[in-house]
Structure 1
Amino acid sequence: MIRVVVVDDQELMRAGFRMVLGAQEDIELIGEAGDGADAVRLAERLQPDVVLMDIRMPVLDGVEATKRIVEAGSSRVLVMTTFDLDEYVYSALQAGASGFLLKDTPPAHLVSALRAVASGDAVVSPSVTRRLLDRFVNAGGGPPQDTSALDVLTEREREVLMLIAKGLSNLEIAETLFLSEATVKTHVGRILAKLELRDRVQAVVLAYETGLIRPGNNH
């Protein structure tokens, strides 16, 4: 059973999520919160598998709430947004969210996304994530992070990381590099372990922030 906490400051949205999740045999809605501060307290107390997190809320926004929940290690976070190019989503991905969905996502997609995140996968639309990162990475004009963070990777692992950042699936990476999909999975696992990253979303963010991928041209 996948245990979920829903966080949204609009009662109507929470009621909608309640209805969708209540119809699933493998998902249990164990708590609701109307702001980020309540979300952090609930996550700490209930230890849900996934927190479905609104971004823009009073008291404590979804970005800071995501950061605190991820740092506590209690749950994985899937953020919801109204806009596909939302600077708060970029901040939430940096803070450790396992992906994001638009609020008008069809119920079936929402449910499959929750299942994916609960199983340890990241939920991310590569095209939207790329546009998000292109738009917001280094928005303040600062230089990229020190690329020495990537020195622990082999040349092949750097290649794989670059392709992950371009939004390619394991199968597509395998075809591009003439490897088996199993080999690519092994490389991805090693990359995440060496860089101490939770999932592919974090790998994409790091690739942009270190300048491995340049905003605007994906090279």
Structure 2
Amino acid sequence: MAPDSTVLVVDDHALFSDAVALALATGGRTVHRVRLETAGRSPSRLLASALRIQPDIALLDLDLGRYGDGRDLIRPLSRSGVDVVVVTGHIDEADWGGCLRNGARAVVPKHRPLAELISVVHRLEAGEPVLDPGEYHRLTSLWQARLAEDDDHRRRLARLTPREREVLGELMAGRTIREIADSDVVSEATVRTQVRTILHKLGVSTQIAAVGMAHRVSWNAPEPDRPVRT
């Protein structure tokens, strides 16, 4: 890649974006920032705004705030021939592995020195490797393990009866056992028995763990069908 490459910065933090752009705008390199406030909240519009620039390299944040999730842009950008470098404050290495599997060339944590990010850009421009194969394998293996674990969580959640799904949904909404019992016109003892069964089926020991499992796999609880109190 020529040293006069075009680099795109997609990040909702203006100060960080400005610092990166200033550091990169040397040696004939062209640096653009996607204006998230004009691109809108639609992932397709944001992608279209990015592709119109025809970048060689895209420095992409994962958390774009109200503008969406940067993960949605990795695969389409990389398939369009863009070298995607994820620049993120997330410290979940399994998540990094997912980004790599979706086509990112590297992941650079935001807490690392800016010089490290600039070095990755230089190596991409020179056609040099930016990630050790062993590190790639380690990170993507973590992602594969995460996927397998999430699949197991979904299978466990699928074992719940309709009533147990309702109770878990109430717990996810932050309601106590007493509140669930009152709203459903049943005894607290009945709800406690249902909660114990839920924990057993999910293979966890606390309500917090059960709720965490459901949130992690974006499990949606059914709308409760409560009897009318007379």
**Shorter-chain TM-score: which interval?**
0.5 to 0.7
Correspondent of 1:108 among 73, 94, 115: 115
Q: Can you list the C-alpha shifts for 1:42-74, whole angstroms capped at 9, x where unaligned?
A: 332111110000012233311111112122x14
Q: Give the 3-state SS of the residue equivalent to 1:124 in structure 2.
A: coil
Correspondent of 1:2 among 5, 11, 29: 5
Give the Cα separation in 2 of the matches to 1:88 and 1:39: 22
- One-letter amino acid matched to 1:30: H
Query: How many residues get paired?
Result: 140
| 1:81 and 2:88 are equivalent in the alignment | yes
Change beyond 3 A, Cα 1:109–1:13? same
Match of 1:92 in 2: 99
TM-score, L = length of structure 1? 0.54
Match of 1:66 in 2: 74
Identity %: 23
Correspondent of 2:51 among 41, 44, 67: 44
The aligned runs of 1:37-186 (5 Å cut-off) are: 37=44, 39-57=46-64, 58-71=66-79, 73-124=80-131, 129=136, 131-141=138-148
Match of 1:167 in 2: none
Change beyond 3 A, Cα 1:134–1:96? closer
| 1:21 and 2:24 are equivalent in the alignment | yes
- One-letter amino acid matched to 1:140: L
Larger radius of gyration: 2
Give the Cα separation in 2 of the matches to 1:25 and 1:119: 14
CA RMSD of the aligned region, Å? 2.6
Q: Which runs of 5+ in 1 are unaligned?
A: 143-219
Kindly indicate whether the alpha-carbon contact (under 8 Å) linking 2:6 and 2:29 is maintained by their aligned counterparts in 1.
yes
TM-score, L = length of structure 2? 0.52
Structure 1 stretch displaced more, 116-125 or 103-112 = 116-125
1:89, CA displacement in angstroms? Answer: 2.1
Kindly indicate whether the alpha-carbon contact (under 8 Å) linking 2:34 and 2:50 is maintained by their aligned counterparts in 1.
no
Q: Stretches of 4+ moved more than 4 A in 1?
A: 35-39, 125-131
